């Protein structure tokens, strides 16, 4: 099972007099899933793609650690 990371951008909450900034969330989907259903999504509002990407990568690393521990 290959998990892929994607970054979703959306508009953040609008504040009076301030245009809403883009916020980013990390989502993980299964590579073999043709619908690319979201398996996991981070619940943060990241202010940059890089932050969201790092968040998703750390989650992916946790999953790898867990499956490695199970097979050991």
Interacting residues with Zn ion (CB under 5 A): 42, 44, 55
Q: What spatial distance separates the first Cα and last Cα of the chain, rounded to whole Å?
A: 18
The smaller minimum CB distance to Zn ion, of residues 30 and 41, is found at 41
Strand partners for 10: 23
Q: Minimum CB separation from Zn ion for residue 22, in Å?
A: 15
The smaller minimum CB distance to Zn ion, of residues 36 and 44, is found at 44
The smaller minimum CB distance to Zn ion, of residues 13 and 17, is found at 13
* CA 22 – CA 8 distance, rounded (Å): 10
């Amino acid at each position: 099972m290959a998990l892929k990371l994607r970054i979703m951008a959306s508009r953040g909450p609008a504040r009076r007099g301030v245009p809403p900034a883009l916020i980013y969330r990390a989502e993980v989907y299964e590579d073999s899933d043709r619908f690319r259903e979201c398996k996991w999504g981070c619940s943060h509002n990241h202010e940059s793609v890089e932050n969201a990407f790092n968040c998703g990568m750390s989650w992916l690393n946790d999953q790898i650690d867990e499956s490695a521990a199970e097979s050991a």
